[in-house]
Amino acid sequence: MAADLAQKTAAQLQAGGIDVQVLRLNALLPEILLRQNRILFIASTFGEGEAPDNGSRFLSRLRNLDLKHLQYGLLALGDREYQYFCGFGHAINQALHARGATPLFDMIEVDKGDTAALRHWQYYLGQLSGQPLFHDWSPAQYQPWILAQRHCLNTGSPGAPAYWLQLRSTAHLISAPQWQAGDIAEIGPCNSAMRIETFLTRMACDPADKTLRMKLLRRDLPDDETRITLLKSQPQDTWIQSLAELPNREYSIASTPTCSTLDLLVRQVKHGLDDFGLGSGWLTHFAQEGDEILLRIRSNPGFHPPADNTPLILIGNGTGMAGLRAHLLARKEKGVKTNWLLFGERTQAYDFFFGEEIRTWLAAGFLSHLDVIFSRDAMPGAARYVQDLLRPNGERLQSWVNSGAAIYVCGSLHGMAQGVDEALTGILGRALIEQMTEERRYCRDVY
């Protein structure tokens, strides 16, 4: 399976214009590791955390290397029925960390070929290649939800609009999908009516044909003239089937099932005056209240809640508030009050997402501590980002961690998550950070 996934990974990156070389792990010699700046690893595990035969010599080669120049991604394959789930993948991750390498994103664990985890891997490949319109290796089995409400939470902000969406399942209450705090919503975006009409006009088809429009709702519609000319030469059913489905988009769920709605916090992405991001454009602009949204819930066990008696430190920025809010709601439902939230955004006046709700929780004693920071409000030379809040709170942070606290981080990988990791390492030490990661006391949902 690992070899097949390596070939598929290479193909997706090559489609984005990236030169790729595929090697067995044992063929990855020290001189190659020292020469390359970016490597993606796909690691199987055998028995109780053991390396496969074609990777058995890899870890020993890392012992004396300085890999501070290296960025890496890691896909770990395993089976949760074994005690050391993805054990070899974890061993590679620890060894690369110890040698100074920097992860491009958090390690992705795959339980018995879980297709949702593989779609998550594909999402990051799309980010690396700059080609977000890729073809899913295994399309999600979506369920229909209804967009019940949508509100812009930061009208007037110097940043892009951020929308609070509330979705209701169309399933009967008894069979309605369930989820936990930390889980992910995979959205199946659709084409806008205008994009479909433009495409059909270029294809010399009737843009008012409702049946044809429905068939194209979830298809990746080309806009280059060469491809369109080729499609025109084919029978209609043939060229429709040749169009791949639009890839899914992932969003942290911002609510719990007891809220009666599945909530999302989505930043609208625009690449030009009328060119919206595929997922955010569909959710924040083209779809209207009452419209059907195709959605699949992806379990995200690496970011599920800690035990109720565990103090919880939540750190994030921007739309990462979605994942943090879900955890706070889950804790509130159980009456757990040992919670500390640290959050950063642009302006306090416009960008403190769910700020009124959070201040109410603080006043009621549900939050033990609240620290916020807003980059556009800061004086020159002053702290500006959420990672800047950690060192001034280092003594409290150490005290909470010594009391068994878990640290959960949600938001942007580049900048925030890296800055938070560096600050935590400076306060707690790398050894403790590694230990907390293995104990699931340091968890991240970053993108």
**pLDDT higher than threshold 80 for residue 13:** yes
User: What separation, in Å, do the N-terminal and C-terminal C-alpha atoms of the chain show?
Assistant: 26
For the chain, give every residue range classified as CATH 2.40.30.10: 143-190+247-298
Which residue type is seen at 136?
A: D
pLDDT (0 to 100) of residue 117: 93
CATH 3.30.200.20 correct for 2-129: no
pLDDT (0 to 100) of residue 273: 64
**pLDDT higher than threshold 70 for residue 70:** yes
**pLDDT higher than threshold 70 for residue 180:** yes
**pLDDT higher than threshold 70 for residue 172:** no
- For the segment 268-285, the average pLDDT, to the nearest whole number, is 89
- Any bridge partners for residue 135, and if so which? none
Contact partners, residue 140, CB within 8 Å, separation at least 6: 115, 116, 119, 186, 188, 248, 296
Query: What is the distance between the alpha carbons of residues 35 and 294, in angstroms, rounded to a whole number?
Result: 44
Query: What is the distance between the alpha carbons of residues 131 and 137, in angstroms, rounded to a whole number?
Result: 15
- In which region does residue 109 sit, left (phi positive, over 0), alpha (psi from -120 to 50) or beta (all else)? beta
Give residue-wise pLDDT tens across range 362-408. 999 999 999 999 999 988 877 799 999 999 999 999 999 999 999 99
For tokens 């930061």, what's the residue?
Answer: 154
**pLDDT higher than threshold 90 for residue 54:** no
**pLDDT higher than threshold 90 for residue 18:** yes
For the chain, give every residue range classified as CATH 3.40.50.360: 2-129
pLDDT (0 to 100) of residue 50: 86
Give residue-wise pLDDT tens across range 293-324. 999 999 998 899 999 999 999 999 999 999 99
**pLDDT higher than threshold 70 for residue 174:** no
- Quick one: pLDDT band at residue 82, thresholds 50, 70, 90? confident
How crowded is residue 358: how many other Cβ atoms within 10 Å of its Cβ? 21
**pLDDT higher than threshold 80 for residue 261:** yes
**pLDDT higher than threshold 70 for residue 42:** yes
How crowded is residue 366: how many other Cβ atoms within 10 Å of its Cβ? 17
Read off φ and ψ for residue 102, nearest 5 degrees. -110, 125
- For the segment 65-72, the average pLDDT, to the nearest whole number, is 95
For residue 201, give Cα distances in angstroms to 204, 207, 220, 238: 5, 6, 16, 18
Percent share of the chain, pLDDT over 70 = 99
Strands 71-78 and 339-345: unpaired
What 3-state class would DSSP assign to 221? coil
Which residue type is seen at 97?
A: H
Query: What is the distance between the alpha carbons of residues 181 and 324, in angstroms, rounded to a whole number?
Result: 9
**pLDDT higher than threshold 70 for residue 344:** yes
Query: What is the distance between the alpha carbons of residues 37 and 68, in angstroms, rounded to a whole number?
Result: 9
pTM: 0.88
pLDDT (0 to 100) of residue 234: 95
**To the nearest whole number, what is the mean pLDDT of the chain?**
93
pLDDT (0 to 100) of residue 275: 84
CA 252 to chain centre: 7
Which CATH superfamily includes the segment(s) 143-190+247-298? Translation factors (2.40.30.10)
Helices 430-438 and 418-428, packing angle to 10 deg: 110
CATH 3.40.50.80 correct for 305-446: yes
Contact between 169 and 145 under an 8 Å Cβ cutoff? The reply is yes
Contact between 385 and 344 under an 8 Å Cβ cutoff? The reply is yes
- For the segment 271-298, the average pLDDT, to the nearest whole number, is 92
Give residue-wise pLDDT tens across range 407-440. 999 999 889 999 999 999 999 998 999 899 889 9
